[in-house]
Structure 1
Amino acid sequence: MSMVVVSTVSNMSEYDRSVDGIRYPWATTDEILEAMKTFEVREDDVWLISYRKSGTTWATEIITVLSCGCDFTKRDETNPLEHTCFLDLLKPNMTEFAHVTATKKPSPRIIMGTHFQSRHMPRELITKKPKIVYVARNPKDVAVSLYYFHKSNKLLKTFKTWNECFQAFYDGDLVGGSWFDMNLYWWNRRNDDNVLFVKYEDMKEDLPSAIVKISEFLGWPVPEGKLEEVVKHCSFGSMKNNKKQHWYTESGLFDSSMSPFMRKGLVGDWKNYFTVSQNEAFDKLYEEKMKGSGLKFRYKL
Structure 2
Amino acid sequence: MANHRKKFIDLVDKAIAVGDTMDHEDLLFSYNGILYPTTVCSPEIVKALESFEARQEDVILAGYPKTSTNWVGQILTDLVTTSAENNEDETNSLNDEELEEFPYLEVGDAEKYQQMEKLSSRRVIFTHLLPHNLPESILKNKAKILVLVRNPKDIATSFYHFTNGMSPLPSYETWDEFFTAFMTGKMPWGSYFDYICEWSKHVDDENVMTITYEELKENQTLGLKKIADFFGFSLSEEEIQTVVEKSGFKAMKEKSSKTHGTFGKIIFCKGTVGDWQDHFSEAQSKEMDRKFEECLAGTKLGEKMKYELYCKA
1:87 paired residue among 97, 105, 109: 105
1:58 paired residue among 71, 75, 78: 71
Distance 2:264 2:242 in 1: 31
Per the alignment, residue 272 of structure 1 pairs with 278
Distance 1:118 1:55 in 2: 18
1:182 paired residue among 195, 200, 206: 195
Distance 2:250 2:264 in 1: 20
Give 1:134 shift.
Answer: 0.9
Structure 1 pair 51/248, CA: closer, same or farther in 2 (3 Å)?
farther
Structure 1 pair 245/275, CA: closer, same or farther in 2 (3 Å)?
farther
Per the alignment, residue 182 of structure 2 pairs with 169
1:24 paired residue among 36, 39, 45: 36
Per the alignment, residue 68 of structure 1 pairs with 81
Per the alignment, residue 293 of structure 1 pairs with 299
1:11 paired residue among 21, 24, 28: 21
Q: Structure 2: any 5+ residue segments left out of the alignment?
A: 1-10, 86-94
Of 230-239 and 271-280, more deviation after overlay is shown by: 230-239
Of 262-271 and 280-289, more deviation after overlay is shown by: 280-289
Per the alignment, residue 230 of structure 1 pairs with 243
Distance 2:218 2:59 in 1: 25
The answer to whether the 8 A contact 1:53-1:145 is kept is yes
Verify: 1:108 aligned to 2:110, yes or no.
no
Of 14-23 and 164-173, more deviation after overlay is shown by: 14-23
Structure 1 pair 153/175, CA: closer, same or farther in 2 (3 Å)?
same
Q: Across the two proteins, how many residue pairs are aligned to each other?
A: 281
Distance 2:202 2:287 in 1: 28
* % same residue: 32
The structure richer in helix per residue is 2
> TM-score, normalization: structure 1?
0.85
Amino acid at match of 1:34: K
The answer to whether the 8 A contact 1:54-1:135 is kept is yes
Per the alignment, residue 92 of structure 2 pairs with none
> TM-score, normalization: structure 2?
0.82
- Computed over aligned residues only, the root mean square deviation of the Cα atoms, in angstroms, reads 2.5
The answer to whether the 8 A contact 1:70-1:230 is kept is no
Give 1:71 shift.
Answer: 9.1
Distance 2:84 2:216 in 1: 22
Give 1:99 shift.
Answer: 2.4
C-alpha offsets along residues 100-155 of structure 1, whole Å, 9 cap, x if unaligned?
3212212221112x111223210111111111111000010000010011012222
Distance 1:158 1:246 in 2: 25
Verify: 1:208 aligned to 2:228, yes or no.
no
